[in-house]
Structure 1
Amino acid sequence: MTAGRPRFRQGAGLAEWISIPLLLLIWHAAATILQDPTVPSPVAVVAELVAQVVDGRLLEDFAKTLARVAAAFAVSMLLGCAIGALLGRVRFADGLFAPWIVIGLNIPAIVVAIVCYIWMGLSEIALVTAVAINKTPLVATTMREGVRALSAEYRELAQVYRMSPWRRLRLVELPQLMPYLLTAARTGLSLIWKIVLVFEVLGSDGGVGFRIGIFFGFFDMTAILAYTLAFICVVFAVEYGAMRPLEQRILGWRPAQR
């Protein structure tokens, strides 16, 4: 069983490397067979992407969208972690606010966006607030489970050694919470990307979603896919350049599960 794990990981790594080229090959074959303007080839999409970059419009739109994503992510993570810690430690608070969390997890995001836009106007604050409201319950739920799963034995050990609250948090509790924190960050970020774009289509003065909405009005599928391709590149850069190295650095001590 153990000897088979390295071979399994090598196979998974090889499959991961050929995954995107395989997708591009299928895409190119579909475009060649269909010969439809709504199914442009990867070559046409890349050419459009380069044109948008040279024009400068794409970089400006992505700067606005990424700033909104970063702000909403920071707010939702801070609030979600604080709320999750409270609900995980205080049973009365958990019982009192559990229905609120359920409502926050299930209320349609578009409703929250419309309400925030009506109350605050079509502003950056309204957009970031709407996204944070939608994602904070998810982070809070994940962190609540993490706090509940904290080992009582480690807590008693910290008391025996008379650790200060800060030292206990840093050396005992935070290492146990890191898997939950990383899960909350990855799932929250993956959803924030999508919601920010939807809210930009609904009402904003720029950004990737705003630009895609304009392209949709002209049925410009090539430009839509060019922006989508650029967005995918950003997502891959965050995942493979930040999230996975961070996860490996923090959780690399754990035995392999695959």
Structure 2
Amino acid sequence: MKGGADDTAVLPSSSLRKGGRMKPLFPRGDGWVRLASLLGFLALWQFLAWLLQSTSLPAPAVVFGRVVDETVSLALPWHLAITLARVVVSFLLAMAIGTAIGIAMGRWRQLDLLLDGWLVLGLNIPALVTIILCYVWFGLNDAAAIFAVAVNKIPTVVVTVREGARAIDRNLMQVAHAYRLPRWRTLTRVYLPQLYPYLMAAARSGLSLIWKIVLVVELLGRSNGIGFQLNMFFQFFDIAGILAYTLVFAAIVLIVEAAALRPLERRLTRWRG
């Protein structure tokens, strides 16, 4: 506009803060948007259940009632706790091993060349094959199940962390060396902060993958856990049971994502401004 008119005049007054800066359209936070989306999903589910009138798609009230029944009988908490324990152990194992290998491959080129073929092989072997082989080699036990899940996840962690190690700013490392910072301080204040975004990306993608693989592991060779229960419900065509356990499991995933991973990522990367 001419004559020095305020360019922000074309914007709605509700979208401005003091000083002319943009204000979020949802002032109470993005949580309200996510909540509205979930409520819309429930409304669509209820409409389809009413429209189809089929046992293949029970209404939300039926499924939530089943959740209550399974919780009161302690079946759901028991199997959920077992599955979560397997997820946590597999996740920590995969992240620890994958991070160490990824940093080493990003730091030393010769090691990267040596292990790159192994890494490509690990990325392309189907998870189902790894699970079956682990059960055949080590037996139908928790150690084999956890090992199979971790082996499937480690290559993806390695790939992500390796790229982070390659992207480390060497100038910052040289400055730390010039100021003779102790190795531990250099690691925690200079090296790892640059690696945090890649570690968080590996953690978030890895956790989403591990949730799924653990269920397959339990379905194929364990006598407890969410995956085992889903298999039992499938054999009896119990759709309400399948949806009940699936919804609870999905709710746990959303809670972990919202209450743990997102706040942790914001805290670790806030130095980037």
Q: 1:48 corresponds to which residue?
A: 66
Matched, 1:61 2:60: no
Task: Report deviation, 1:126.
Answer: 0.2
Give 1:75's aligned residue.
Answer: 93
Offset at residue 252 of structure 1 (A): 2.9
Indicate how the Cα distance of structure 1 residues 166 and 59 shifts in structure 2: closer, same or farther if over 3 A, else same. Answer: same
Question: 2:169 and 2:228 mapped to 1: Cα distance?
Answer: 47
Please list, as runs of the form range in 1=range in 2, the aligned pairs for 1:89-108 lying within 5 A after superposition. Answer: 89-108=107-126
Check if 1:110 corresponds to 2:128.
yes
| Cα distance in 2 between the residues matched to 1:185 and 1:5 | 32
Residue 172 (structure 1) aligned with residue 181 (structure 2): no
| Residues 60 and 8 of structure 1: CA distance in aligned 2, closer, same or farther (over 3 Å) | same
| In structure 2, C-alpha distance between the alignment counterparts of 1:99 and 1:106, rounded to whole Å | 11
SS of aligned partner of 2:24? helix
Residues in 2 aligned to 1:8 and 1:153: alpha-carbon distance in whole angstroms:
41
Q: Secondary structure at the match of 1:7?
A: coil
Structure 1 residues 8 and 97, CA gap change in structure 2 (3 angstroms): farther
* Length-normalised TM-score, structure 1: 0.95
Equivalent residues in 2 for 1:1-258, closer than 5 Å: 6-7=23-24, 10=27, 13=30, 14-255=32-273
Write out per-residue CA displacement over residues 204-247 of structure 1, whole angstroms, 9 at most, x where no aligned residue. 02000000000000000000000001101111110111111111
Tell me the distance in 2 between the aligned counterparts of 1:142 and 1:31.
42
Report the Cα distance in structure 1 between the residues aligned to 2:140 and 2:187, rounded to whole angstroms. Answer: 41
CA distance in 2, matches of 1:145, 1:115: 30
Q: Which residue of 1 aligns with 2:3?
A: none
Displacement of 1:253 in angstroms is 3.9
Write 1 or 2 for the structure with the bigger share of helix: 1
Structure 1 residue matching 2:272: 3-state secondary structure:
coil
> 1:106: Cα distance to partner?
1.2
Instruction: Measure, in 2, the Cα distance between the counterparts of 1:67 and 1:15.
Output: 31
CA distance in structure 2 between the aligned counterparts of 1:17 and 1:224, rounded to whole angstroms: 23
For the structure 1 residues 54 and 140, does the alpha-carbon distance in structure 2 shift closer, same or farther, using more than 3 Å as the test?
same
Stretch of structure 1 that moved more, 207-216 or 237-246: 237-246
SS in 2 for 1:122: coil
Unmatched 5+ stretches in structure 1: none
User: Could you say if the C-alpha distance between residues 96 and 6 of structure 1 is closer, same or farther in structure 2, counting changes exceeding 3 Å?
Assistant: farther
In structure 2, the residue corresponding to 1:39 is in which secondary structure? Answer: coil
- How far apart are the structure 1 equivalents of 2:21 and 2:28? 11
Unpaired runs of at least 5, structure 2: 1-7, 9-15
SS in 2 for 1:252: helix
**What is the Cα deviation at residue 254 of structure 1?**
3.4
How many residue pairs are counted as aligned between the two chains? 255
Q: Which has the higher contact order (CA 8 A, sep 6+)?
A: 1
For 2:27 and 2:169, how far apart are their aligned partners in 1? 34
CA displacement, residues 96-144 of structure 1 (integer Å, 9 cap, x when unaligned): 1101111111110000000000000000000000000000000011110
- CA, structure 1 residues 174+217, in 2 after alignment: closer, same or farther (shift >3 Å)? same
The two structures, once aligned, show a CA RMSD in angstroms of 1.7
Counterpart Cα distance in 2 of 1:232 and 1:9? 26
Q: State the match for 2:12 in structure 1.
A: none
CA-to-partner distance for each residue in 1:139-188, whole Å, 9 max, x for gaps? 01111000000001101101111122211101100110111111111100
Deviation for aligned residue 1:11: 9.5
Q: Which amino acid aligns with 2:166?
A: R
In structure 1, C-alpha distance between the alignment counterparts of 2:167 and 2:150, rounded to whole Å: 25
Q: 1:15 Cα shift?
A: 2.7
Superposition deviation, residue 6 in structure 1: 3.9
Residue 198 to residue 132, structure 1, CA distance change in 2 (3 Å): same
